[in-house]
């Protein structure tokens, strides 16, 4: 097998990650012409097109394979840097800025538990890039070779990857107290305020159009197979909480985020006794790597502390 030019592979990765040739040239500190030349050389070597010239650009199937190869090369370099740093701790790491170690994590996990889990690694100099997406779609980033690991709600492992159960996030349907009183009636302990007679009339605050969690909880609570909700989209977990507090509508949000506001009486649970458990799994390449092992360990420790245990869910 022919070896591939590392600079050309990094060029391919930069084009995909930055969404185009111009931004890739800025990141790599080379001309746009040089970016095109490196890509053409790589396409000539492989004998196939690697990039679809759309907006933003996207890799072809062959491009995805080479992109994964580039990410694996980064991982090997990150492992080497870690080992060298252990041998010579007084010397700074020599990684280039663009050789980032990318993982994909759903937004609610970032807001609740995952970011603190990664703090020690970031402080130690690991050049992390955390990509956010819905928990049902983060696996696609791994499938396309754009990340080396992901937190997802999907349990089925990809070929060449391993999967570990992390636990589950619990979601509650909540509303701001005065909003609930105005639109749903006075709150009585243990009594559901949301029902068949009113759920269609209320706006629900969702993360984006991919967010299926509100419909899942409402459907399960009301015994409906399909649910169509009025929705407002706010692409930030913390901002969704703020929008619900401001009376934008109902939110189906992680208990980890809203429990303090429930205890303070700022929010009310409009479906008491009803919650949705979303299992989460960590997928990563099946490689022997200190960096991957450290990432896996950090996420597992944090998940064990903050999420519902996998064995509890299995027994439920």
DSSP state of 20: S
Instruction: Kindly provide the b/e burial profile for residues 11-29, where b requires at least 16 CB atoms within 10 angstroms of the residue's own CB.
Output: bbbbbbbbebbebbbebbe
> Residue 200: its pLDDT value, please?
92
**Do residues 130 and 118 make contact, with C-beta atoms less than 8 angstroms apart?**
yes
Query: Which residues are CB-neighbours of 124 under 8 A, at least 6 positions away?
Result: 85
Whole-angstrom Cα distance, residue 256 to residue 107? 13
Q: Scan for tokens 């995909």, then name that residue.
A: 16
> Residue 309: its pLDDT value, please?
87
Q: How far is the CA of 241 from the CAs of 13, 52, 237, 306, in angstroms? A: 35, 38, 7, 19
- pLDDT tens track of the chain, all 316 residues? 468 888 888 899 889 888 899 998 988 889 999 999 999 998 888 888 888 888 888 889 888 888 888 888 888 777 777 666 665 544 444 445 556 789 999 999 999 999 999 999 999 888 899 999 989 899 999 988 888 899 999 999 888 889 999 999 999 999 999 999 999 988 777 789 999 999 999 999 999 999 999 999 999 999 998 899 999 999 999 999 999 999 999 999 999 999 999 999 999 999 999 999 999 999 998 888 888 999 999 999 999 999 998 765 554 4
**Do residues 28 and 11 make contact, with C-beta atoms less than 8 angstroms apart?**
yes
Helices and strands, number each (H, E), in the chain: 13, 11
All structural domains of the chain, each given as residue ranges with its CATH number in brackets, are 1-87 (1.10.10.10), 169-276 (3.40.190.10)
For the chain, percent helix, then strand, then coil, each to nearest 5? 45, 20, 35
> Residue 205: its pLDDT value, please?
97
Residue ranges in 29-60 assigned as alpha helix (H): 32-46
> Residue 290: its pLDDT value, please?
86
Determine the straight-line distance between the first and last CA of the chain, rounded to whole angstroms. Answer: 51
> Residue 91: its pLDDT value, please?
47
Whole-angstrom Cα distance, residue 125 to residue 89? 12
Q: What SS3 class is residue 245? A: helix
């Amino acid at each position: 097998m022919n070896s591939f030019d590392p600079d050309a592979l990094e060029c391919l990765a930069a084009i995909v990650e930055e969404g185009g040739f111009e931004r890739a040239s800025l990141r790599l500190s080379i001309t746009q012409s040089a970016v095109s030349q490196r890509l053409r050389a790589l396409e000539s070597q492989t004998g196939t097109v690697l990039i679809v010239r759309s907006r933003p650009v996207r890799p072809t199937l062959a491009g995805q394979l080479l992109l994964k190869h580039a990410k694996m090369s980064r991982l090997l370099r990150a492992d080497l840097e870690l080992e060298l740093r252990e041998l010579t701790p007084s010397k700074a790491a020599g990684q280039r800025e663009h050789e980032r170690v990318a993982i994909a994590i759903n937004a609610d996990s970032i807001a609740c538990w995952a970011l603190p889990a990664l703090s020690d690694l970031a402080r130690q100099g690991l050049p992390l890039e955390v990509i956010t997406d819905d928990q049902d779609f983060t696996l696609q980033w791994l499938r396309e070779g754009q990340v080396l690991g992901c937190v997802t709600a999907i349990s089925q492992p990809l070929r060449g990857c391993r999967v570990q159960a992390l636990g589950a996030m619990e979601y509650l349907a909540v509303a701001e107290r005065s909003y609930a009183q105005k639109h749903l009636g006075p709150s009585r302990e243990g009594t559901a305020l949301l029902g068949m007679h009113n759920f269609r009339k209320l706006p629900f605050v969702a993360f984006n159009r991919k967010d299926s969690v509100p419909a899942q909880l409402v459907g399960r609570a009301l015994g409906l197979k399909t649910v169509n909700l009025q929705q407002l989209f706010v692409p930030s977990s913390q901002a969704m909480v703020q929008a619900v507090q401001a009376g934008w509508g109902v939110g189906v949000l992680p208990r980890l985020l809203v429990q303090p506001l429930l205890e303070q009486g700022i929010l009310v649970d409009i479906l008491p006794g009803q919650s949705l458990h979303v299992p989460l799994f960590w997928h990563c390449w099946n490689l022997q790597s200190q960096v991957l092992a450290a990432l896996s360990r950090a996420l597992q420790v944090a998940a064990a502390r903050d999420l519902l245990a996998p064995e509890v869910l299995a027994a439920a």
